[in-house]
Structure 1
Amino acid sequence: MEHSRSDHEMDHEMKKKPGGHDHHHMIADFKRRFWICLVLTIPIIFLTPHIQNLLGIRELLGFYGDSYALLFLSSIVYFYGGYPFFKGMYNELKSRMPGMMTLVAVAITTAYIYSSAVVFGLKGEIFFLELVTLVDIMLLGHWLEMRSVMGASQALQQLVKLLPASAHKLMSEGRPWKSHWKN
């Protein structure tokens, strides 16, 4: 039994998910988003009033407009880091099967809208740190998950290469089985 497709074509198809997405691209995307958001999380930590009060550095790091700087940095993490979850939520809701992406998107959107309202005058606490931490953790989790899925897919691909192209069934007497069906 011969295959009409080249090994290169089959290798390329094995790298794709059923939805047609390239695993390598998705892994690189989650990794890039994670590292960028993690770097932005560092100043967000030190701009968060609760952390400043906890560490006793409010007078040292607090400045006029620091809540707007916090909103700005958190907005970058929310939109850039949250994009895969918004896209996933759209696909889940379109197929009427809400799942983890919907849950994460709703959680970060709730924290973002509420915290933004607090910055603009609503009485309450801001949750930007919780928002960016959730985005960071979920991006890391999806990056690691995609890496492990890719590793398992490659292992299965190697196993498939070991399978013979054809097989012959031997009867108990040791002779090949012949079909008696006629076309």
Structure 2
Amino acid sequence: KIHTMTQDELKQIPMKQYFAGVDWGYEHHGVIVVFGMGYDDRFYLIEEHAKQHVFIEDWVRIAHDIKARYGDIPFYCDSARSEHVAKFDEEGINAIFADKRIMRGVELVAHYYKNNRIRIVYDACPRFASEIYNYAWDTKKDLPIKEYDDVMDAMRYALLTFVETFEQRSVEDEIDLIQQLGI
């Protein structure tokens, strides 16, 4: 229960940044998740949109609604449907191909979860609630089983890409500063 919170509790947390993860689907659920990164350096899963049998035009509408509420945030997207990523881009949505490394992403999410760095607004994320307890590992393939993984994949894309981008940006900023100082 330490990982869950209410909408009212979320309102008390100042956020420094928002970003989204996108897992395309049709028969499987397509998912957009929205994260906030608080000034406390925790990640907050604040909403999800999980739907079956939805076309790209509907996802564009959902993304525009998210953009209207959170600004021009990055949407870290599954590259499996590059034409959908292109459509987001054409529609003025900040669509970026996600880092899809499975093991690195699963380890990162597990690390943050274990260290209480992820909180979930449970009421706003009903599909998450059903997937988290059904997410399973295929020991023969050493990969997650491709069931009950749609929200989990969108979360992994969002967190891994955001963290890797943020860390890379931080390293580049440090290099620039060192060069500016002539060290």
Structure 1 and Structure 2 fold alike (TM over 0.5)? no
Structure that is richer in strand per residue: 2
TM-score normalised by L of structure 2: 0.29
TM-score normalised by L of structure 1: 0.29
